[in-house]
């Protein structure tokens, strides 16, 4: 019989997950990167720098997703919702690793601001879970909607020859859209347009800072 974790046990697990998320190369993906078999293109210095900025934004987005799901799993009331959050967090690990690998290939690094964004996202996730599972799931759906907008925009900005970054972002876009749909299907409350606009404004702060930092 599986032992039921206490609240303290869950906090320890969350601390471990935070370290795996924030420490470079600490996380391992289950699914290999879609970029592995793609052609390595010659990129100018300016193109390489811009792509690295985009991938850094996406990596930080995955850091925020990890924190959000972990925070929600900690305070979710229904066991099945908690399990769904934990499963989604595991799937996001693949995206996190893919982005980090691509950044390394581009001779760049992850954002220095990741610990701050992780802490903020974890707090928001935990608060959403305390309010209620339908609001927690609705927050996931609204967040994934924002992520999909960023990914679609970044795909348009990529140089035509950068097949590696494109393969990663296309797969991420497909997965994130599915996460959002699953959250609504599980009973998530769809947020109103004003709330989504506020979330868009907040996400701009993240993208503008992590592009260079």
Is 163 a known ligand-binding residue? Answer: no
Is 176 a known ligand-binding residue? Answer: yes
Is 39 a known ligand-binding residue? Answer: no
Is 160 a known ligand-binding residue? Answer: no
Q: What dotted CATH number matches 64-210?
A: 1.20.1260
pLDDT digit string, tens, across residues 75-127: 766 666 667 666 767 777 899 999 999 999 999 999 999 999 888 888 888 88
For the chain, the average pLDDT equals 83
Is 42 a known ligand-binding residue? Answer: no
Q: What pTM, to 2 d.p., does this model score?
A: 0.85
Domain edges within the chain: 64-210
Can you spell out the DSSP letters for 3-46?
PPPPHHHHHHHHHHHHHHHHSTT----SSPPTTTTS------HH
């Amino acid at each position: 019989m599986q032992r039921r974790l206490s609240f303290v046990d869950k906090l320890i697990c969350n601390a471990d997950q935070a370290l795996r998320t924030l420490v470079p190369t600490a996380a391992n993906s289950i699914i290999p990167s879609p970029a592995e078999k793609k052609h390595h293109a010659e990129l100018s210095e300016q193109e390489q720098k811009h792509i690295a900025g985009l991938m850094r934004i996406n990596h930080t987005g995955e850091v925020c997703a990890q924190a959000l799901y972990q925070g929600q799993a900690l305070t979710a009331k229904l066991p099945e919702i908690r399990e769904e959050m934990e499963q989604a967090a595991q799937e996001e690990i693949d995206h996190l690793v893919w982005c980090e690998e691509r950044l390394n290939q581009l001779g760049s690094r992850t954002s220095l601001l990741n610990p701050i964004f992780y802490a903020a996202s974890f707090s928001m996730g935990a608060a959403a879970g305390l309010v209620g599972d339908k609001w927690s799931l609705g927050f996931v759906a609204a967040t994934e909607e924002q992520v999909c907008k960023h990914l679609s925009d970044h795909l348009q900005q990529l140089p035509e020859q950068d097949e590696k970054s494109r393969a990663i972002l296309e797969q991420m876009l497909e997965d994130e859209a599915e996460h959002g749909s699953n959250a609504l299907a599980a009973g998530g409350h769809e947020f109103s347009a004003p709330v989504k606009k506020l979330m868009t404004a907040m996400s701009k702060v993240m993208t503008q800072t992590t592009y260079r930092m």
